[in-house]
Structure 1
């Protein structure tokens, strides 16, 4: 195979048969059709230039080691974002199976679209909306064979062996449980295996990152953390306030994830974590996943968001707490992510994720624009910059698996 052919070949062969979401139904009869964004090559996003020898090494890494995204949204946006509110009210998210089939991923922590699940409300994060969103997505996944629901670490490992992708159901905030602790058991029973404390806005558990005063984890929040420990739900503090994050890490008997963030030391934004929170997470055995959603992991050296600014956050965190405590949670999707942020600016607390330093808005994050290209380009970057196979294996999946074996029930 020539170098050109090798570059364009899938990194791992997945059992993709061409299935499209909800094809078990009749389009236009059972549901309204919205034209969707392309899953591949929507924009001219660039990959790192590597030699044929380096590309061959990249492919060996994908073949030999579990590749896990700690945070993504593998759904496909409508092509016309003016349709997005009606699209969301129908509650039918389309998974990007074609894009995932060439992503190289063996497992993905998929966070659905709960913050924009507005089937029964205009504000989102209601219990009925969350259950509707979750059930509809899992119904679609149950009608195909490439993506499988992951409930255990063994599910992740077997997915790799079988040419599948393990789908780890994650939810970014716990507002919908209100003051009902047993709703955590219900979510676990429905397949949820990772849950955030708060999504930017404060709730019954604790403070979100956009609140002017973060009072920390509440008494109920402490009870919820202990219940999640008992159930085997991984805890995420990505969108929690600093005090709430530190309290959660302290109270939890198990390691905690920061599934998608970066270092505030590199960019002054509440959406990123200060050194003390990153260190506390690592000292408890946890992992921080580096975030790539538009205009988050910027740096003063790279104020235009791209793969290099994203990887600067990775290297900073790895130097701060050790490579054993860093992974990747790109937080990307299929479609116009920047446009989606404009439409949902309030619902997604976009203002809180904008740093206080000047930067140039981009149309897309070059090099890490969607789930199909994220991990291939991350590994190419790591190979090109001299990281060992052992360290690459840790950050693209090994570190996450280590935590899950301690946190999950099995």
Structure 2
């Protein structure tokens, strides 16, 4: 397996001793939430082993690495369509249940990571020095045409679902499609059921029109959990200003993406923490500090090799710009542990107030979850 910590040269945002003391205090006081990650450990040889590894769904959780992070809660997006246990195409119902069951069985034997199903679970994890893993699925593709499967997934612990992945499904259009027909009639019924059971909604991988339809149809705020500003870097993976504003106007929260070859800018064409935080500041200025957070979309291991391995399966070559300069990893945000600390360090270094830092690292997300999830 890959090293949990130290796979690449570690990077800490340079801060003074006084600033680092403030970072440590904020990390302890704040409820720190990742809106989107894959807290899994990859094989060392990703290109040759990842398909067999994921097909077993016996994914290793890097508890040692996570114990050194400052996350209180992580939306764990599991294997999503990468399990491929019963099919080479992914996103099958059986795969989803198998993956979820294996993960929950593992977590049931841990005393450090707990399953997060309610806001109170997140608060308890913070108070007890634990991490709440909140199961999530990036697309509704596995439900096929069965509305009741939403209730089943909610009952099994899923607390956030997407609408489409990059490819279209029966609900609407994915962002890799050339034509976006918007939300289908069945898709509208799915959004209503999401609202009814208390499922948080994510439109990160939906096409622009489909995402706009979801935000309009939903009676609850909607998340864009891992994204950047298309104005800064014009790729299909990102959302235009009007979509970001619409999400915020509905009361939703936008999480900033940090996976390799995504959040790049003209100022920082070689992706690192500075390019990621340029997207953060742009979107924060666009929609307001109350509607932004972080969904780094990181993992432990070679994420770039993972993209290469799955590029054709999930149409990633249509999502990322062809002229993107490849990097071996994102400096400062290489894994969930590094990302958790460096986000706070960067905010402290750049003069953000304690109040605003607490909002963007978790309070904004928590406020929406209190509104969307069933009260308990």
TM (norm. structure 2) is 0.98
The structure number with the bigger radius of gyration is: 1
| Deviation by residue 1:322-341 (Cα, 9 ceiling, x = unmatched) | 01101000000000000111
Shift of residue 382, structure 1, vs aligned partner: 0.5
Moved more, 358-367 or 180-189: 358-367
Structure 1 unpaired stretches of 5+:
1-35
Aligned to 1:25: none
| TM-fit CA distance, 1:348 | 3.1
Q: Can you list the C-alpha shifts for 1:214-265, whole angstroms capped at 9, x where unaligned?
A: 1000111000001000101000000000000000000000000000001000
State whether residues 295 and 354 of structure 1, in contact with CA within 8 Å, keep that contact through their aligned partners in structure 2.
yes
Matches within 5 A, 1:100-111: 100-111=66-77
Q: Which aligned pairs between 1:367-382 and structure 2 lie closer than 5 A?
A: 367-382=332-347
Hey, what's the Cα distance between the residues in 1 that align with 2:324 and 2:213?
32
The residue matched to 2:370 in structure 1 has which SS?
helix
The Cα shift of 1:163 comes to 1.3
Structure 2 equivalent of residue 91 of structure 1: 57
Please report how far the alpha carbon of residue 387 of structure 1 lies from its aligned counterpart in structure 2 after TM superposition: 0.3
**1:234/1:404 contact within 8 Å kept:** yes
Give the corresponding residue for 2:203: 237
| Aligned-residue offset at 1:70 | 0.4
Q: Is the 8 A contact 1:249 1:284 kept in 2?
A: yes
Does the Cα contact within 8 Å between 1:55 and 1:380 map onto a contact in 2? yes
Asked whether the 8 Å contact 2:222–2:251 carries over to 1, the reply is: yes
Which sits farther off after the overlay, 112-121 or 273-282?
112-121
**CA-CA distance at 1:96 after TM superposition:** 1.2
Matched, 1:114 2:80: yes
Q: Which runs of 4+ in 1 moved over 4 A?
A: none
Distance 2:186 2:356 in 1: 39
Question: Is 2:11 the counterpart of 1:42?
Answer: no
Q: How far apart, in 1, do the equivalents of 2:70 and 2:87 lie? A: 37
Q: Which secondary structure state, in structure 2, belongs to the residue aligned with residue 203 of structure 1?
A: coil
Q: 2:185 aligns with which of 200, 219, 244?
A: 219
Q: In structure 2, what is the Cα distance between the partners aligned to 1:250 and 1:359?
A: 33
Map 1:137-216 to 2 at 5 A: 137-216=103-182
Shift of 1:78: 0.6
Question: Can you list the C-alpha shifts for 1:99-125, whole angstroms capped at 9, x where unaligned?
Answer: 110110100001001221111110110
State the SS of the aligned residue for 2:35.
Answer: strand
1:383 matched to 2:348:
yes
Does residue 303 (structure 1) correspond to residue 269 (structure 2)? The answer is yes
Residue 90 of structure 2 is matched in structure 1 by 124
Structure-2 residue corresponding to 1:327: 293
Residue 42 of structure 2 is aligned to residue 77 of structure 1? yes
Match of 1:66 among 12, 31, 44: 31
Aligned residues: CA RMSD: 0.8
Indicate which of 393, 397, 406 corresponds to 2:362. 397
Alignment of structure 1 residues 232-311 onto 2, 5 Å: 232-311=198-277
Supply the distance in 2 between the matched residues of 1:279 and 1:125 (Cα, whole angstroms).
Answer: 30
Q: Which consecutive residues of structure 2, in runs of 5 or more, have no partner in the other structure?
A: none
| Residue 80 of structure 1, CA deviation | 1.2
Q: TM-score scaled by structure 1?
A: 0.90
Q: What SS does the aligned partner of 2:201 have?
A: strand
Match of 1:156, SS state, is helix
SS of equivalent residue, structure 1 residue 170: strand
Shift of 1:45: 3.5
Could you tell me how far apart the structure 1 residues matched to 2:101 and 2:315 are?
Answer: 25
Q: Distance in 1 between matches of 2:50 and 2:72?
A: 29
> How far does residue 355 in structure 1 lie from its aligned partner after superposition?
2.4
Pick the aligned partner of 1:315 from 249, 267, 281.
281
